[in-house]
Chains A and B, each alone.
Chain A
Amino acid sequence: MRLPGGMLWVAVWAVLASHVPAASAEVYSLTAAGLGGDADYDRRFAADAERIHGAMQGSASLLTGQGATRETILGELERWAASMTQDDQAIVVLIGHGSMASDDYRFNVAGPDLTGTDLAGALEALPAQRQVLVNTTSASGALLDRLAGRPGRVIITATKNGRELQATRFASHFASALRAPAADLDKDRRINAAEAFAFAERAVADYFEGEGLLATEHPRQLGDNPSGLILARLDEQESDAVAPELLARRETLNDQIRALRARRSQMDQAEYLQELQSLLISLSMVSEKIEAAGGGAQSDSGGRP
């Protein structure tokens, strides 16, 4: 009886492990805010872009207003392609107005629009296996089917298709998610793509419900393991004083807990809880040691998005 469970554990661990960036992996991020069309939107888009850019780790670029053009955006992605490896992670965030013309999505920037075709080509040219495109514009859902499907890529859009053309609120909530303890559902002090999406999606829905309005945007997320894609950290990196073996032990325990959860439906409930409790006690003790060594608290409580 143990053997099948063990085999499954190995398989699950392998899948999860494949999404963890290698130790030397770099994170490349580009946040681009297009034209607002009026001063209010210009300000709002720029502010959202700065908040998102500010939360990003690694090599982060920001393009806004007149500085965000088809040429500069594609140029930045081309530069990444030259230095990036397949172990790296690419994050592209677009903020502004989107539209549809000639059956293609268009991101409204100064000069010629950036099209869905442009984006597809540029992302395809990136060596990084792990890619996240967060398109917060109106009509962004038009890219879902077109860009999703490549292994390792996650697509997040503010709308469900290319026909939702009203200016969106998603970007603002997505920016908030990257700094919000309430978005950190697994309490690891990091905000992954799934958590940021869930927070922003709920906040958008709450807005329309609270105002008694018919929702004009329906966020969507497609792609592999978005929870394995870390977008932001709520704390600084843990202190160098923490022994590496403690951190490794913590990761091992976390992996074991994930694997146990995956086996839950095949287990007796009491047996499952007993094993879970045992692992959690071990993890708590390791966390306590990390905390004592200056690793900081793992989490605090959240609130409503």
Chain B
Amino acid sequence: MSRCARHSAWLLPLLLLAGSVGATQRGIHYGEIEDPGLVACDQQLWQGRIQRARECYRQLLGKAPATALRAELAWALGEIKAANSWFRQAVQEDPESASLRTRWGWLFAVTHQAAEAQALFNEALTLDPDYVYAKLGLASVMAGGFSGAASEALEPLLTDANIPTGAAIRASLLKAWLALEEGHLDDAATLLDRADGMLRSSTWPRLELLALRAAHAALGDEPVQPWVDEALALNGSFGDAWAVPAYFMVITRRYEQAGRWYEAALAVQPDLWSARLELGTNLLRLDRPVEARRQIEAAYTGDPYNAKTVNSLRLLDTLDGFEIRTLTMGDKGLKLRLHSEEAAVLTPYVADLTRRSVALFSERYRYTPSQPVVVEMYPDHEDFAVRTVGLPGVGILGATFGYVVAMDSPAARSPDDFHWGTTLWHEIAHIFTLRATDHRVTRWFSEGISVFEEWRTGPVPGRQIPLVALNAMAEGKLLPLAELDASFIRPSYPQQVLVSYMQAGLTCDFIEQEFGFAPLVEILAQYKAGAGTRTAVETALGIKLEQFDERFSAFIDSEFGETFAALTEFEQTRGDATRAAREQRWADVVEPAQRAVTLLPAYVDADSPYLMLARAQRELEQPAEEQATLQAFFDAGGRLPAALDRLAALLQEQDNVAAAADILDESNWVAPLDWERHSRLGGLWMQLGDSDAAVREYRAALALNPHDRADAHLNLARSLQSAGRADEARLEVLSALELAPNFREAQKLLMSLIES
């Protein structure tokens, strides 16, 4: 659940297919290894006879085996560094062996080194372009990175009747995994049936198949227990029987269910470190950091190779520097986890926006939060990124886990391209779509509602569609609705996730315009009842999905036809204006910039023609025109702080204090960490007689460690006095005078407060 782009990770599919069976993480190799002695030992392991398997491996090792087998045995016994050394030596001894490099690649894969694994798989394919297990290795790494190329790589393997049965099984299982991730349950079932048929006539265990059956059942709201029981009957310590369905619960945002199943996985296999890490990560999503730390630290002791574990521990250390503020909001309250250096400044704004959005969405979506909402904001983007790693389609700005919203704080990004207020609004909307559907909402609809609410009710109303998305729309790249969800998981071209966000938002916008708001709520109800997208949309709208696609396509043409036609000229005129501005030929900027604004008035990014035009008008000393341009930029949704500062200054020059205050007030949703702006805004509110607003701004200014703290205290004292809060005013003026005892203005205020 997120706003904007995605994050890549590659771990989880490998845990199943590369092997998390037992602590050795060597897994089921489906014919990739032919040594009968080793396979016999592996069979013991796959049946859960771990001690017997280890004895078997040790006995083999005692017989001075060949180097390649020695590497496998060291790996099987958990001696990863030794295994790596043996593989290196084996490859030196037999440099032409594709299979050796492939096995070595898997060792890297299961120790979380995807790039090295990929390189070895590619080397194997250079030696033997037909080596199917190397192809499977590559596809697995791609799948783990949520690459759309994974499916394409698997397709030929699924239709090639000449590949070994084991490889065909592994290909089917991996493809089924991808289908489950993309929500194509029917396709997954077919693939699992195919794999099952082959497995039943083979000597390989059905463990991974059964884990995927359990996942399939979980995603279809069917009981998982029969499949888990069957898997555990084959191997009583096969934790993935629970951990695999748990993973699918995580990526479909059912975190509480996922947590229960990870615990079950660890109950049968305590050394399944990947599950322990995921359990810890999941506990963080559920706002249980103390328990999370215990699990993640335990995961680290068992698997120190996993960068995600290390990063999670660092994040937990970082959280020690955060303040928790518990505030009132409705019946259940609001909890803010903000960095201690930002908490005092951000709290009033975050609380205000969260309260407003929760109240509005409660009414619109007929759902009231049943737990406190938690908002976490990270001033360091890397800390936020740790919260989302391993989740497909998760963005770079914010993420929502049930009642917990995690996002970048305004300090983490440039205000030129990050409107934190809109991001928070977007994420709060996710709480409603997730919780109102018991987390059954599809990704496209949840993102769609969040984008739609940004545009319709957010801090900056109006559609904001990036150029890249407009171009993709103009090129006919929008998807049929039935395929939209998968594009969030495995995009088929760069920026497709961003385009899909826009399509999802426009879809909800279209539904509201054509069918009214009620069907949006009805779709949520359908999802809650277990319906898929087809049923939900067809029931709520009363038309077939194919008809919907046709009407939506016509809507896009109608709404954006002129825009699409203008894109080329827009780029051209914007380019002309940019060149003239770069060369400071200000008079030459005006015409092309004006034309570009006319062609695409909604384009208000940092390189917007509005801003070039305003700059030119300033240089040409045309303040009235400059003000009109900046006002148009603002009205179109432009929120670049520097532009807003300038517009406010121009308004102030004309004594339009109220308008200037409104403009600067909007800056708080973009760049609230500038003490000078808060101080200036506080002064405007004082002029307008809004003492409470002035107190808020002066307090924020003071919390930002202004250069002149005595002056900041005095400003706050004056606003408090004006708000009738004399005692607080007296304390603030004492603070001012404590810093600057001879501060005459503060002395006068103190005397006036004492006398009154």
**Chain A residues within CB distance 8 Å of chain B:** 182, 185-189, 198-199, 202, 250, 253-254, 257, 261, 273, 276-277, 279-281, 283-285, 287-288, 291, 297-305
Q: List, in ascending order, chain A residues with CB within 8 A of B569's CB.
A: none
Q: Once the chains bind, are B734 and A299 in contact (CB under 8 Å)?
A: no
Render B680-714 as a binary contact track against A, CB cut-off 8 A, 1 for contact.
Answer: 00000000000000000000000000011111001
Which residues of B711-756 are within 8 A (CB) of A?
711, 714-715, 730-731, 734, 737-748, 750-751, 754
- Minimal Cβ-Cβ distance residue in B for A253: B741
From B708, B715, B730, A185 is in contact (CB under 8 Å) with B708
B229 at the interface (CB under 8 A from A): no
Q: Once the chains bind, are A304 and B745 in contact (CB under 8 Å)?
A: no
Q: Once the chains bind, are A287 and B750 in contact (CB under 8 Å)?
A: no
Known: A301-B711, A305-B707. Is A186-B740 also a contact (CB below 8 A)?
yes
Known: A185-B710, A273-B731. Is A299-B738 also a contact (CB below 8 A)?
no
Q: Once the chains bind, are B742 and A283 in contact (CB under 8 Å)?
A: yes
Q: Complex Cα distance A115/B745, Å?
A: 47
Q: Once the chains bind, are A304 and B676 in contact (CB under 8 Å)?
A: yes
Q: List, in ascending order, chain A residues with CB within 8 A of B742's CB.
A: 186-189, 250, 254, 283, 287, 298-299
Q: List, in ascending order, chain A residues with CB within 8 A of B737's CB.
A: 276, 280
Q: Which of A254, A273, A305 has the most CB of B within 10 A?
A: A273
Q: List, in ascending order, chain B residues with CB within 8 A of A199's CB.
A: 707
Q: Once the chains bind, are A297 and B710 in contact (CB under 8 Å)?
A: no
From A202, A277, A280, A300, B745 is in contact (CB under 8 Å) with A300
Q: Once the chains bind, are A299 and B743 in contact (CB under 8 Å)?
A: yes
Q: List, in ascending order, chain B residues with CB within 8 A of A273's CB.
A: 731, 734
Q: Once the chains bind, are A280 and B711 in contact (CB under 8 Å)?
A: no
Q: Once the chains bind, are A182 and B734 in contact (CB under 8 Å)?
A: no
Known: A187-B744, A280-B734, A298-B744. Is A182-B708 also a contact (CB below 8 A)?
yes
Q: Once the chains bind, are A188 and B748 in contact (CB under 8 Å)?
A: no
Q: Complex Cα distance A297/B744, Å?
A: 7
Q: Complex Cα distance A301/B750, Å?
A: 16
The majority secondary structure among interface residues of chain A is helix
Q: Closest CB-CB distance, B238 to chain A, in whole Å?
A: 53
A sample of 21 inter-chain contacts (CB < 8 A) reads: A186-B739, A186-B741, A186-B742, A187-B710, A187-B740, A187-B741, A187-B744, A188-B742, A189-B742, A198-B707, A250-B742, A257-B738, A261-B738, A277-B730, A280-B750, A281-B750, A285-B751, A288-B747, A299-B740, A299-B745, A303-B676
Q: Once the chains bind, are B741 and A254 in contact (CB under 8 Å)?
A: yes
Q: List, in ascending order, chain B residues with CB within 8 A of A288's CB.
A: 747, 751
Q: List, in ascending order, chain A residues with CB within 8 A of B741's CB.
A: 186-187, 253-254, 257, 279-280, 283
Q: Complex Cα distance A298/B745, Å?
A: 8
Q: Complex Cα distance A263/B750, Å?
A: 22
Q: Once the chains bind, are B740 and A185 in contact (CB under 8 Å)?
A: yes
Q: List, in ascending order, chain A residues with CB within 8 A of B711's CB.
A: 182, 301-302
Q: Complex Cα distance A77/B742, Å?
A: 35
The majority secondary structure among interface residues of chain B is helix
- Minimal Cβ-Cβ distance residue in A for B676: A304
Q: Once the chains bind, are A287 and B747 in contact (CB under 8 Å)?
A: yes
Q: Once the chains bind, are B744 and A299 in contact (CB under 8 Å)?
A: yes
Q: Closest CB-CB distance, A92 to chain B, in whole Å?
A: 26
Known: A187-B743, A188-B740, A304-B676. Is A284-B748 also a contact (CB below 8 A)?
yes
Q: Which of A187, A303, A305 has the most CB of B within 10 A?
A: A187
Q: List, in ascending order, chain A residues with CB within 8 A of B750's CB.
A: 277, 280-281, 284
- Minimal Cβ-Cβ distance residue in A for B642: A210
Q: Complex Cα distance A5/B485, Å?
A: 72
Q: List, in ascending order, chain A residues with CB within 8 A of B744's CB.
A: 187, 287, 291, 297-300
Q: Complex Cα distance A298/B747, Å?
A: 10
Known: A284-B748, A284-B750, A298-B743. Is A276-B738 also a contact (CB below 8 A)?
yes
Q: List, in ascending order, chain A residues with CB within 8 A of B709's CB.
A: 185
Q: List, in ascending order, chain B residues with CB within 8 A of A198's CB.
A: 707
Known: A186-B742, A284-B750. Is A277-B710 also a contact (CB below 8 A)?
no
Which residues of B569-597 are within 8 A (CB) of A?
none
Known: A186-B742, A283-B741. 19 other contacts (CB 8 A): A185-B707, A186-B741, A187-B740, A198-B707, A199-B707, A250-B742, A257-B741, A261-B738, A276-B738, A277-B734, A280-B750, A281-B750, A284-B750, A287-B744, A300-B744, A300-B745, A301-B745, A302-B711, A303-B708
Q: List, in ascending order, chain B residues with CB within 8 A of A291's CB.
A: 744
Q: Once the chains bind, are B710 and A186 in contact (CB under 8 Å)?
A: yes
- Minimal Cβ-Cβ distance residue in B for A250: B742
Q: List, in ascending order, chain B residues with CB within 8 A of A303's CB.
A: 676, 708
Q: Complex Cα distance A186/B742, Å?
A: 7
Q: List, in ascending order, chain B residues with CB within 8 A of A186's CB.
A: 710, 739-743
Known: A187-B740, A297-B744. Is A302-B708 also a contact (CB below 8 A)?
yes
Q: Which of A198, A199, A291, A303 has the most CB of B within 10 A?
A: A303
- Minimal Cβ-Cβ distance residue in B for A302: B708
Known: A188-B742, A304-B676. Is A280-B747 also a contact (CB below 8 A)?
yes
Q: Once the chains bind, are B754 and A185 in contact (CB under 8 Å)?
A: no
Q: Complex Cα distance A177/B715, Å?
A: 22
Q: Once the chains bind, are A182 and B747 in contact (CB under 8 Å)?
A: no
- Minimal Cβ-Cβ distance residue in B for A284: B747
Q: Complex Cα distance A300/B751, Å?
A: 17
Q: List, in ascending order, chain A residues with CB within 8 A of B708's CB.
A: 182, 185, 301-303
Q: Complex Cα distance A284/B740, Å?
A: 12
Q: Closest CB-CB distance, B718 to chain A, in whole Å?
A: 10
Q: Closest CB-CB distance, A2 to chain B, in whole Å?
A: 22
Q: Closest CB-CB distance, B709 to chain A, in whole Å?
A: 7
- Minimal Cβ-Cβ distance residue in B for A298: B744
From A189, A281, A297, A305, B754 is in contact (CB under 8 Å) with A281
- Minimal Cβ-Cβ distance residue in B for A277: B734
- Minimal Cβ-Cβ distance residue in A for B711: A301
Known: A284-B751, A304-B676. Is A276-B734 also a contact (CB below 8 A)?
yes
Q: Closest CB-CB distance, B279 to chain A, in whole Å?
A: 41
Q: Closest CB-CB distance, A294 to chain B, in whole Å?
A: 14
- Minimal Cβ-Cβ distance residue in B for A291: B744
Q: Complex Cα distance A289/B409, Å?
A: 50
Q: List, in ascending order, chain B residues with CB within 8 A of A182's CB.
A: 707-708, 711
Which residues of B284-343 are within 8 A (CB) of A?
none
Q: List, in ascending order, chain A residues with CB within 8 A of B746's CB.
A: 187
- Minimal Cβ-Cβ distance residue in B for A301: B711
Which residues of B88-111 are within 8 A (CB) of A?
none
Q: List, in ascending order, chain A residues with CB within 8 A of B747's CB.
A: 280, 283-284, 287-288, 298
Q: List, in ascending order, chain B residues with CB within 8 A of A297's CB.
A: 744
Q: Closest CB-CB distance, A137 to chain B, in whole Å?
A: 25
- Minimal Cβ-Cβ distance residue in B for A212: B414
Q: Complex Cα distance A140/B750, Å?
A: 44
Q: List, in ascending order, chain A residues with CB within 8 A of B714's CB.
A: 301
Q: Complex Cα distance A198/B738, Å?
A: 19
Render B456-470 as a binary contact track against A, CB cut-off 8 A, 1 for contact.
Answer: 000000000000000
Q: Closest CB-CB distance, B680 to chain A, in whole Å?
A: 9
Q: Once the chains bind, are B754 and A304 in contact (CB under 8 Å)?
A: no
Q: Which of A182, A185, A189 has the most CB of B within 10 A?
A: A185
Q: Complex Cα distance A188/B738, Å?
A: 13
- Minimal Cβ-Cβ distance residue in A for B731: A273
Q: Complex Cα distance A285/B737, Å?
A: 14
Q: Complex Cα distance A4/B384, Å?
A: 50
Q: Complex Cα distance A280/B739, Å?
A: 11
Q: Closest CB-CB distance, A239 to chain B, in whole Å?
A: 15
Q: List, in ascending order, chain B residues with CB within 8 A of A298's CB.
A: 742-744, 747
Q: Closest CB-CB distance, A284 to chain B, in whole Å?
A: 4
Q: Once the chains bind, are A281 and B751 in contact (CB under 8 Å)?
A: yes
Q: Complex Cα distance A235/B650, Å?
A: 33
Q: Once the chains bind, are B707 and A304 in contact (CB under 8 Å)?
A: yes
Known: A287-B742, A291-B744, A304-B676. Is A202-B707 also a contact (CB below 8 A)?
yes
Q: List, in ascending order, chain B residues with CB within 8 A of A257's CB.
A: 738, 741
Q: Complex Cα distance A118/B751, Å?
A: 54
Q: Closest CB-CB distance, A178 to chain B, in whole Å?
A: 16
